[in-house]
A and B are shown apart, each in its own frame.
Chain A
Amino acid sequence: MTDVLVVGELFGGQLRRASLSAFSFAKTVASATGGAWDLLLIGEGAGGAAAEVTGFGARAVKTAEVAGGPVAERYAATVAEQGKGYGVLVATASAFGKDLMPRVAAKLDAGVASDISGVSVEGGKLVYRRPMFAGNVVGTLTVGSAIQVVTVRQAEFEAAQPTGGSSPVSSVSIVADPAAERVEFLSYEVAKSERPELTEAKTVVSGGRALKSAENFKTVLEPLVDALGAAMGASRAACDAGYVANDLQVGQTGKVVAPQLYFAVGISGAIQHLAGMKGSKVIVAINKDPEAPIFQVADYGLVADLFKAVPELTEAVKKAKAEA
């Protein structure tokens, strides 16, 4: 029997959808081991957000209201205190989860299974699967500490659906941490976008260095993105060059996506990029170099100059959508 505590991430006073992947993990582990799962919402607006999450089947919802931006030092002591007595503490491997959870683990002397892609119960033990070496190896891992800390890969754990019921909500007290006194939250600049989130979209269109400028991302790629109702992504080279925000980087060290349909436009297909999109159901590559490595993983490859092919494709997609 393993009880699981999920740490839910808040943004703008609401639960981030990314956290629903951690819910799924918790449900799986609780049901496979005959345990229960609880949810801890921590951050600004935790109390208000609780109402949204009482219908997912958690045994209890706990809220820890902490004002100001997400700063791990302000959360870790409270999460660790609440985590005592659980077998597993889990969050989604977003920047928030990756930042906070190892810090919590160190407080509890717990081992961390980061960014896992799967979990099973074997001989009463939790066994985790996780991609390593830019996704070129899958490791099978057990964690020997009394409490185990886990972050889950959003693309590999489907978002949990509400199941009804009404979890009781209570607030917990905040534990002070001296480290928090030496860190000050200054700002959190978030780019607003009407498009779906990269990690949740059914279709993703990513552009690479070949787009050559921020302007071309807007005038050449964005019309295709919008015709498809897709999210926009990018390679590291495009982010580094400032064509798009860093947060759109797909890859080993950026976002991992697994949409129904992925377009790699003017992207060579370096292993670090493939690590973030190989799990997509259907991959389309547009590249003028027939030898580009991206074609080795693409279901459909179009050898063409993107500046000609993308506008054509945009029109064709619009037409196809109009007919459908």
Chain B
Amino acid sequence: MLFAGRRSATKEMRVKILVPVKRVADPDNANKVKISGDGKQVTSQGLEWKLNPFDEYAVEAALRLTENGKTGERIGEVILASLGPKDVGQTLRGALAMGADRAVLVEANDEQLDAGVVVDALAKLVAQEKPDLVLMGKQAVDGDSNQSGQMLAEALGWPMATFAMGIEVLDGGKALKVGREADGGILTLKVTLPAVVTVDLRIVTPKSIVNHKTPADHAYSDTARYASLKGIMAAKKKPIAETSLAKLGVTKTPVLTYAKFELPTGRKAGVKVADVNELVTRLRTEAKAL
């Protein structure tokens, strides 16, 4: 949609993309998270683990950037990276089943991590893997912090484009044109790779990504792809390399400390009104809002 029309002749372009992904408690059950008795922990027991939805969209965007969407031919590499406990491996398998090529799992527990530590570890992985692009979610929907991508870009000294809703590959794969969801409208940047891009919701709309390999008439569905049975089978054989903060040489420790958690004061359901007249009367006389 955003970049329709422009096509430049490009040679074969193979980008290597690192996609940091976090697993979160099923966001659609966020109202079922509980607080431990001492208020020191959020317990998501009994809730299903999911890939952070924005990271799922980043995986989808990375796949769209590294394939011919029409033929399914792969033309680049997508590597996943996650910091978390060992069983994050299951969540990684799900993303590998979508089509990502391989994954790295950095074992760590929640108490060892905050954005600074995550970013330090990701920066070290970037130094090892040397991707052309780090593509990630704009925010993890558990902590709702929206900071890691920006901090990683700075740690690497790379340019960034946050809150991306459209990406076009330029200059034969050397640069990206990125449409960003900014205040009041869309802000478009051109970033020279290597760069960090964080994605917003609209990155999975049908024409959001133009890589000049997928024919211009190809439209994707309007969400992240589901893993096919073939994809699920293939994912079983894809490598998940395991490492640790110590092995990566991460020396940072968290500076963000959550002393306690509370449930917000809830709202109660009010009244059902019979019709528009009753609504207007109550808004005027009772709520004094009109």
Rounded to whole angstroms, the CA-CA distance of A245 and B181 in the bound complex is 10
Rounded to whole angstroms, the CA-CA distance of A73 and B189 in the bound complex is 12
Given contacts A96-B182, A106-B150, are A281 and B289 in contact (CB under 8 A)? yes
From B143, B159, B287, contact of A132 by CB (8 A): B143
Q: Is the CB of B259 within 8 A of A127?
A: yes
Q: Is the CB of B154 within 8 A of A103?
A: yes
**Cβ of A307: which chain B residues have Cβ within 8 Å of it?**
none
CB under 8 Å from chain B, chain A span 263-304: 270-272, 278, 281-284, 290, 295-304
**Cβ of B28: which chain A residues have Cβ within 8 Å of it?**
270-271
Q: Is the CB of B151 within 8 A of A95?
A: no
In the assembled complex, the CB of A303 is this many whole angstroms from the nearest CB of chain B, namely: 6
**B139, B256, B284: residue with the most chain A Cβ atoms closer than 10 Å:** B256
In the assembled complex, the CB of A197 is this many whole angstroms from the nearest CB of chain B, namely: 9
Interface check B115, CB cutoff 8 A: yes
Interface check A152, CB cutoff 8 A: no
In the assembled complex, the CB of B105 is this many whole angstroms from the nearest CB of chain A, namely: 24
Q: Is the CB of B279 within 8 A of A300?
A: yes
**Cβ of A186: which chain B residues have Cβ within 8 Å of it?**
177, 188-190
Interface check A184, CB cutoff 8 A: yes
Q: Is the CB of B158 within 8 A of A179?
A: yes
CB under 8 Å from chain B, chain A span 209-260: 236, 239-240, 245-247, 249, 252-253, 260
**Cβ of A130: which chain B residues have Cβ within 8 Å of it?**
144
Chain A interface helix/strand/loop/mixed: mixed
Interface check A134, CB cutoff 8 A: yes
Number of A-B contacts (CB under 8 A): 280
| Segment at the interface with B among A40-48, A56-64, A112-120, A159-167 | A112-120
Interface check B201, CB cutoff 8 A: yes
Interface check B12, CB cutoff 8 A: no
Interface check A1, CB cutoff 8 A: no
Given contacts A72-B150, A111-B114, A183-B190, are A188 and B182 in contact (CB under 8 A)? yes
| Segment at the interface with B among A24-32, A83-91, A168-176, A310-318 | A310-318
Chain B interface helix/strand/loop/mixed: mixed
Rounded to whole angstroms, the CA-CA distance of A111 and B191 in the bound complex is 26
Interface string of A120-145 (1 = CB under 8 A from B): 00000001001111111111111111
Interface check B147, CB cutoff 8 A: yes
Rounded to whole angstroms, the CA-CA distance of A132 and B261 in the bound complex is 9
Q: Is the CB of B146 within 8 A of A98?
A: yes
CB under 8 Å from chain A, chain B span 106-164: 114-116, 119, 138-139, 141-155, 157-163
Interface check A8, CB cutoff 8 A: no
**Cβ of A297: which chain B residues have Cβ within 8 Å of it?**
267, 269
From A70, A106, A191, A272, contact of B151 by CB (8 A): A106
Given contacts A191-B185, A252-B141, A316-B280, are A240 and B202 in contact (CB under 8 A)? yes
